Amino acid sequence: MKEPDFRTPRLGTESPELRERLHHIWETEPGLKGVFGTTDHKTIGIRYIVTAFIFLVLGGLEALAIRLQLAGPNLSLMTPEQYDQFFSTHGMTMIFLYALPILSGFSNYLWPLLLGGRDMAFPRLNAFSYWIYLAAGIFMYAGFVLGNGPNDGWFNYVPYAERNYNPGFNQDFYSLGMVLLGISTTVGAANFIVTAMRTRAPGMSINRLPIMIWGTLTANAANLLVVPAVSLAFFLLWMDRQFGTHFYDPVGGGQPLLWQHLFWIFGHPWVYAVVLPAMGMVSTGLPVFCRRPIVGYSVVILATIATMVLGFGVWVHHMFATGLPGLSLSFFSGASLVITVPSAVAVFAWLATITLGRPVVTTAFLYFSSMILLFVIGGVSGFMTASVPVDWQLTDTYFVVAHLHYVLIGINVFPVLGACYYWFPKMTGRLLDERLGRWNFWITFIGFNLAFLPMHLTGLFGMPRRVYTYPDGMGWNSLNMITTIGSFVLAVGLLLFFVNVARSLKSGAIAGPNPWDAPTLEWSVPSPPPPYNFAVLPTVASANPLWEERLGEQRTRSSIDRGMLLDVGKESIATTAMDGVPDMILEMPEDSVAPAVTALGITVAFVGMLLKSVWLPAWGVVWGGSLLTLIGLLMWLWPRRDLREREPAERGPADRRRLSGEAVA
Amino acid sequence: MTSTPLGYLTADGARAAHIVPLTWYMLIVSILVCVVIGVMLWHGVRRARANGGDAETRAMPVARGSKGSHWISIGVLVSMVPLLIALVWTMVTLAAVAGPPSHPDLVLDVTAHQWWWEVKYNTDDPSQSFTTANEIHIPVGAPVLVRLHGGDVIHSFWVPKLAGKTDAIPGQINLSWIQASHTGRYRGQCQEFCGYQHAFMAFEVVAETKEDFEAWRAAQLRPAPDPITPAQTRGQAIVEYRCGLCHQVRGTHAAAVAAPDLTHLMTRRTIASGRLVNNPRNLIGWIQDPQGLKPGCLMPNQYLSAQQLADVQAYLVLLR
Amino acid sequence: MNETAATAADLRDTALAQPANLPVGPIGRHGVGYWGAWTLIATEAALFAYLLFSYYYLGASGPPGWLLEPHPTLKLALPDTILLVASSFVASFGEHGVLHRRRGQALVGFGGAFVMGVVFAAVQVLEWKSKTFRLGDSSYASIYYVTTGFHMAHVVVGLVVLLALFVWTALDYFSPRRRLSVSAGVLYWHFVDVVWLFVFTTYYITPYLGFAR
């Protein structure tokens, strides 16, 4: 019996029997096979979120150690060597192992639910991206734990990173770890792009996407194109260190600035990649607590895209002091000033939504709304550094440290915490405690501003970055003490967040499918969602499907209760990119350990590369890892009948049993 | 503000002075923007009619209300005014401060090393050229061209009261220029992470009257004076054969260039790149335990006996 | 739950539309996997863009005499380039074989492209051996070997892909409808060839046009 190549999907409504059948098809297999082989985007999303939060805590502890060392002048709690590793690892951890992965985690969890689908476009690739991220994080932290953590800042300028100035393993752990991490980021980007373009609910045309989709989509489109720059930069550094090449060292005709160009061509778009998805979360969540759709939906989306596009053209503003010609400086300075304009669009859209809506103050609302002010503070300090002559004074002082913490904590951490309060009930079926939430919010807010607002002044008074201590009499003593105190208050605030999570997991109030009465599709399924997300695939008619009745702006309604069932196997729907017209039934893969095997193979190869300078058989490890990678890839990519990648589509007895449900319906 | 030697909200040099008004403008605009947005946010949030959790959220009705797009257009338009002013002012300032002077009164070659500053006063006549370290003297009111060389890794030359910073990058020569408007001592600092002792890589620019500057220059050209007492003679011998492995004292056998030139050590106000005030006690303390004062710096502990230290001190105080 | 078609009542005022007869799984090139192949190509193309950027940057800021070979010999490189480009046509020939249910043609195409790819790689190794400079001699040498090395790595991956397509075709996996792996794999091979054109032009042609001389 050959499976038909074409099929008209059945329409229907939910029933207990349908749910049970779908559950059986979609649930993760039990035991180790399930742990290592699951492709469920919700599991993978939560793994990302938990892992990223662990790195946030580690990075935070490093920060507290730094602040203790800097609390007063001429302290010696740490040697310069230790301090250099602490501040570099802090930066690396926060920016690479927390800031993007936490957003990937939320996006992974939420996208299929927001898009009305059953999984991402490439579920096995999704699993693979997590395993590589975990491996890369452990790889880089192994260096730190062994006293060989990165020690040249997160930006790792050469020649100091070259072997003659940095003979230990520090740079090798960092370089290879970053190349490894780049693989995770890149495949994740591919997944998000194809999912957003091709696997949406019927009717979800391009102008009906939740803004969170646009935030993550633009960020990942950028990542796809710029991560190779940093991977290459680190790879070339590793080559200089291990194989005597001369990419960066002037003696052999190399150029130290080549590193800076490659790094910042990646680095600047990266900082937009770690905030645009979070801004998307605010644009999706804040309107819910203002009880109205966002003001300027289309303009905000265009501004998101514009920010990302302009973000490709400003990287030289990290290099204003390097002696570049004036014409080049002028161009990049102008571009860096202009890029504030689309950000202003988002700020005013949010302010208008609050003022023209009916705000309800909840903890999530507090996080989403306070970030507007923190965004602006970070934005104006960025505005100041965009001007070349002013930047010639500001750059490399604590003013920039204040700026970057306002943009990273203000536009990433605060939205993330708000997103936790907003989506925790969907993910766990329980609400986070509101009272504890208020304590959490206010202590975090006060601690953060106490720590970082005075830091602007510290920078204006000339304190250099990346110094393990400072002399007396520079005017920095009290400011540093205030910052140190603030950082500990901030830490207490974050601790309260984790306490809230721990308590609420056990005893939080039970949440229904839509505790916030929110408009987007994820709130139409149970909390937590079943493995298949939607028993009946919704068809949408607007950007706010669950609010259509009350908004009363159009006659056509989204169809939530009735739609395609796609219960003949593990299936979802693919649609056209622009109009969201269904154009293919997607067969989704079963749980598979191939991604984990491939990830293991790659990691083993990288460990071999790391060890090659001290252990001769390491090349064998590299080959062994490569072989394992090849085996994993063959397992993964071998054309499968059930995914319709090969002929004949004839079915064996097991498949016929699975399909027998068709006869019962 | 001498209480903030590295601050740049005030300036004492022509180049830095150009930047100060623009800095204040952008700072004030920034603060105003934050205040305005803060007030708008406060106003919006204060209107909240409910405070609570999920129940209160569900209870509040949903409605679009007014479209509100004028908020965005007006907000962005208003924001663009200070932005465009900043853009134009930036370009004008950049044009004024970027270019090095076409006819500098003085040309310096500064090489940045881990973790000290080598300063060469070169002229066409080698007998009129000399090298010093960590303390730069310039005549007041004169434009000075500073050619920056990277000695090992990337450093950054910054004396905030006189000019913005310029990196010293190995493999290329970057040009900076400074011009002091008043006499005085201006603190400088390496401002690009360069390793363990980046924190203590300071220098001083001393702006003096023309006469004082010429007197200083003439003194720097002279070789080191000969030792007189036996202690000084013994001290010179130690300096030549121990310190001379890295340092130079013109007029003796100490001729290495891997470390600061010590020929006129005692004319400098600080030692160890601004780490310590230059007096005999600090000098001996430094020689005895550089690793304790600047861990990781490239000067190893010398393990001299008390007698040797006394002799060295006796000789070094001669080096004016 | 029981109806298979939308009723008139369903369709009024609701966005729910009668679904068309949809393909199940990828048909021809129409499938999410093909989009995925394009994202792979986009990111790898970016990688080579940065490698070439590095060459141009090092060359433009390098000292005189940076170009170790102001007149690089095309004796091996030019025929090798022609061979590689031809192999793309041969691979396409193979894809057409799958498209028209001609397994023999497909096998000839994939096998032929594989052999041509192996020859290309062998000639490239000879080209490396014929150079008078080594990896650590200068930044020119370093960027030359690393760029052509990265390309070689992509060729090797492409050879594995062609081999897999050959084996899967021999096992009769593909048909005009079910052949997304073939299309993705051949697309990758085309990409490897197009990248080589950029690399070849940069290293072998621009010196004659005066770059970095």
Distance CA A518, CA B60 (A): 12
Query: Are the beta carbons of A212 and A283 closer than 8 angstroms?
Result: yes
Domain boundaries, chain B: 1-221, 230-316
- The torsion angle over the Cα atoms of residues C142, C146, C149 and C154, rounded to 10 degrees, is -170
Backbone angles phi, psi at B137, to 5 degrees: -100, 135
A residues 170-209 lying closer than 8 A (beta carbon) to C? 186, 189-190, 193-194, 197-199, 202-203
Contacts of A470 in chain B (CB under 8 A): 199
What is the side-by-side order of every strand in the sheet holding B155-158? B135-139, B202-208, B184-190, B155-158, B166-168
Chain A interface, mutation test: which of B22, B23, B72, most A Cβ atoms within 10 Å?
B72
Contact: B75, A255; criterion CB under 8 Å:
no
Could you tell me where the beta strands, DSSP code E, fall in B26-105? 50-51
Helix (H) or strand (E) holding A177: helix A170-198
Helix boundaries (H) for A461-476: none
SS3 B133: strand
Contact: A348, B193; criterion CB under 8 Å:
no
Contacts of A18 in chain C (CB under 8 A): 1
Distance CA C158, CA A609 (A): 23
The low-confidence residues of chain C, meaning pLDDT below 50, are 1-3
Chain A interface, mutation test: which of B32, B167, B187, B270, most A Cβ atoms within 10 Å?
B167
**Which residue shows structure tokens 């990119």?**
A577
Distance CA A340, CA A311 (A): 10
Distance CA A134, CA A131 (A): 5
Q: Is the ipTM of this complex over 0.85?
A: yes
C residues 147-176 lying closer than 8 A (beta carbon) to A? 160, 164, 168, 172-175
SS3 C164: helix
Could you tell me where the beta strands, DSSP code E, fall in A259-396? 360-361
Distance CA B176, CA B167 (A): 9
The subunits that touch chain C, with at least 3 C-beta pairs less than 8 Å apart, are A
Distance CA B195, CA B193 (A): 6
Contacts 24+ apart (CB under 8 A), A14-17: A14/A535, A14/A536, A14/A561, A14/C1, A15/C1, A17/C1
Distance CA A206, CA A577 (A): 7
The subunits that touch chain B, with at least 3 C-beta pairs less than 8 Å apart, are A
- Residue A665 has what pLDDT? 34
Residue in A160, A356, A358 nearest the CB of B194: A160
Could you tell me where the beta strands, DSSP code E, fall in A250-330? none
Could you tell me where the beta strands, DSSP code E, fall in A553-603? 559-564, 571-575, 582-587
* Chain A interface includes C136 (CB < 8 A): yes
The contacts of residue A189 (CB under 8 Å, 6+ apart) are A220, A221, A223, A224, A227, C39, C43
- pTM score of the predicted model: 0.95
Contact: A360, B296; criterion CB under 8 Å:
no
Burial label for A308, CB within 10 Å (0-12, 13-18, 19+), is: buried
Q: What is the DSSP string of A34-45?
A: HHHH---HHHHH
Tokens of C156: 């090797």
The contacts of residue A269 (CB under 8 Å, 6+ apart) are A222, A223, A225, A226, A308, A311, A312, A315
Residue of B nearest to A292 (CA): B64
Measured from the Cβ of residue B67, the count of other Cβ atoms closer than 10 Å reads: 11
Query: Are the beta carbons of B166 and B174 closer than 8 angstroms?
Result: yes
Contacts of B110 in chain A (CB under 8 A): none
Buried b (16+ CB within 10 A) or exposed e, A191-216: bbbbbbbbbbbbbbbeebbbbbbbbb
Contacts of A388 in chain B (CB under 8 A): 90, 94, 98
Closest by CA position to A128, among listed A22, A59, A48: A48
Closest by CA position to A487, among listed A540, A515, A446, A428: A446
Distance CA A527, CA A513 (A): 5
What are the CA-CA distances from residue A536 to residues A118, A265, B4 (Å)?
10, 44, 67
* Chain A interface includes B245 (CB < 8 A): no
Distance CA A177, CA A171 (A): 10
Backbone angles phi, psi at B3, to 5 degrees: -75, -10
Contacts of A381 in chain B (CB under 8 A): 30
Contacts of B274 in chain A (CB under 8 A): 471
Tokens of C54: 């590095």
* Chain C interface includes A659 (CB < 8 A): no
Contact: A81, B196; criterion CB under 8 Å:
yes
Contact: C47, A231; criterion CB under 8 Å:
yes
B residues 185-224 lying closer than 8 A (beta carbon) to A? 189-200
B residues 116-135 lying closer than 8 A (beta carbon) to A? none
Closest by CA position to A321, among listed A305, A332, A313, A307: A332
C46 to chain A, minimum CA–CA distance in Å? 6
Q: Residues C195, C198, C200, CA angle at the centre, nearest 5°?
A: 105
Residue in C15, C27, C142 nearest the CB of A558: C15
* Chain A interface includes C104 (CB < 8 A): no
How far is CA C83 from its chain centroid?
Answer: 14
Residue in C30, C135, C178 nearest the CB of A647: C178
Q: Residue B102 gets which letter from DSSP?
A: S
Distance CA A349, CA A486 (A): 31
Chain C interface, mutation test: which of A19, A264, A559, most C Cβ atoms within 10 Å?
A559
Contact: C181, A585; criterion CB under 8 Å:
no
CA atoms A401, A402, A406, A407: torsion sign: negative
Beta strands at B173-178 and B144-150: parallel, antiparallel or unpaired: antiparallel
Distance CA A474, CA B274 (A): 12
State what percent of residues in chain B have pLDDT above 90. Answer: 93
* Chain A interface includes C40 (CB < 8 A): yes
- Residue B81 has what pLDDT? 97
**Which residue shows structure tokens 């465009």?**
B84
Distance CA A611, CA C15 (A): 60
Contacts of C31 in chain A (CB under 8 A): 584
* Chain A interface includes B153 (CB < 8 A): yes
Residue in A12, A228, A582 nearest the CB of C1: A12
Size of interface A-C (CB pairs under 8 A): 227
The low-confidence residues of chain A, meaning pLDDT below 70, are 1-2, 649-665
- Residue C15 has what pLDDT? 86
Contact: B86, A383; criterion CB under 8 Å:
yes
Domain boundaries, chain A: 275-514
- The torsion angle over the Cα atoms of residues C120, C121, C124 and C128, rounded to 10 degrees, is -170
Helix (H) or strand (E) holding C35: helix C32-61
Q: Assign domain A275-514 one CATH number from 3.40.50.40, 3.90.1200.10, 1.20.210.10, 1.10.3720.10.
A: 1.20.210.10
Query: Along the 320 residues of chain B, how does pLDDT read in single tens digits?
Result: 458 999 999 998 899 999 999 999 999 999 999 999 999 999 999 989 899 999 999 999 999 999 999 999 999 999 999 999 999 999 999 999 988 888 999 999 999 999 999 999 999 898 899 999 999 999 999 999 999 999 999 999 999 999 999 999 999 999 999 999 999 999 999 999 999 999 999 999 999 999 999 999 999 999 999 999 999 999 999 999 999 999 999 999 999 999 999 999 999 999 999 999 999 999 999 999 999 999 999 999 989 999 999 999 999 999 98
Size of interface A-B (CB pairs under 8 A): 322
The amino acid sitting at B304 is L
Contacts of A160 in chain B (CB under 8 A): 153-154, 193-195
Query: Are the beta carbons of A120 and A108 closer than 8 angstroms?
Result: yes
Contact: B68, A296; criterion CB under 8 Å:
yes
Contacts of A229 in chain C (CB under 8 A): 46, 50
Measured from the Cβ of residue B305, the count of other Cβ atoms closer than 10 Å reads: 8
* Chain A interface includes B144 (CB < 8 A): no
The contacts of residue A600 (CB under 8 Å, 6+ apart) are A131, A135, A628, A632
Contacts of B199 in chain A (CB under 8 A): 80, 464, 467-470
* Chain A interface includes B154 (CB < 8 A): yes
B70 to chain A, minimum CA–CA distance in Å? 9
A136 to chain B, minimum CA–CA distance in Å? 26
Contact: A463, B193; criterion CB under 8 Å:
no
State the Rg of chain A over Cα.
25
The amino acid sitting at C11 is L
Domains B1-221 and B230-316 share a fold: yes
Residue in A153, A341, A474 nearest the CB of B4: A474
SS3 A172: helix
CATH H superfamily, domain B230-316: Cupredoxins -  blue copper proteins (2.60.40.420)
Tokens of A381: 């300090």
SS3 A356: coil
Contact: A254, C46; criterion CB under 8 Å:
no
Contact: C142, A5; criterion CB under 8 Å:
no
Burial label for B166, CB within 10 Å (0-12, 13-18, 19+), is: buried
Distance CA C79, CA C97 (A): 27
Contacts of C160 in chain A (CB under 8 A): 630
Closest by CA position to B54, among listed A110, A278, A364: A364
* CATH topology (fold) of B1-221: Immunoglobulin-like (2.60.40)
Residue in C6, C36, C173 nearest the CB of A194: C36
A residues 639-658 lying closer than 8 A (beta carbon) to C? 639, 643-647, 649
- Residue A617 has what pLDDT? 87
